[in-house]
Structure 1
């Protein structure tokens, strides 16, 4: 089911073709996995957070979300660069949803109670590639910090 997405992501000519809604969600999940792995500590807590985010985004079950995350983990491990995920997502989703992707990335990055320079750098890169401003990204981060009961910073 997800092999087609993987071949588009890894094709020699870069991303091609349009994405189905499920493929778009798997590409988003791959970005979430990438941010969770950015600090070299991909935990069960982060995986569970990704599952909840995916389930909430499209009203699917936790089991379906975990299946998408599992596929995304394989895709993320195989894909050499973040830009390919981001280009596919930008072509497929509206700006409001792209801002939600950044909020989800912050949610995953902050799920362990801290943020690293690698996580911040990756989110900043993805934000720019998705057309989300630094200010909007910071606002999304602040929303997550408030929801988690942490001080905004």
Structure 2
């Protein structure tokens, strides 16, 4: 279903993503982080929906539908590098910080932080070109709210 998008994202010199494809890439990354600990919790799904609703001005139904597409894309895609490269190429640093905040919000949604999620967050932040300090500050902003 998403073979063309995955092929374009994994090209040696990928083109910037269209808005619909960028939505899918970000959503799939949110799903991937939620699935990292082996438990895809309803609270994590709800947080993903809230993130998609806020970021793209979607209704709850539209966000849930987009999340379902993102779940399918995440299941088909072989690695995180493709998502992060596509997002990094398409999004300015400040906006990537908001991506890290969204990822931390999903990690923290189930009330538990696990070593696999921490490891995935460190790798993802690095692949997005986000410093450890900025990622930690984003985590603190998310947990303070």
TM-score range, shorter chain: over 0.9
Question: Tell me, what secondary structure is at the counterpart of 2:135?
Answer: helix
**C-alpha distance in structure 2 between counterparts of 1:18 and 1:139, whole Å:** 28
**Which one of 90, 95, 105 corresponds to residue 88 of structure 2?**
90
Within 5 Å, give how 1:50-129 maps onto structure 2: 50-129=48-127
**C-alpha distance in structure 1 between counterparts of 2:7 and 2:46, whole Å:** 27
**C-alpha distance in structure 2 between counterparts of 1:7 and 1:67, whole Å:** 23
Whether 1:5 and 2:10 are equivalent positions in the alignment is no
Whether 1:25 and 2:2 are equivalent positions in the alignment is no
**C-alpha distance in structure 1 between counterparts of 2:43 and 2:69, whole Å:** 18
My pick for the range that moved more, 27-36 or 53-62, is 53-62
Root mean square deviation of aligned Cα: 1.7
Residue ranges of structure 2 left out of the alignment (5+ in a row): none
8 A Cα contact 2:2 2:76, kept in partner: no
4+ long deviations beyond 6 Å: none
What count of residue pairs does the alignment treat as equivalent? 145
8 A Cα contact 2:22 2:87, kept in partner: yes
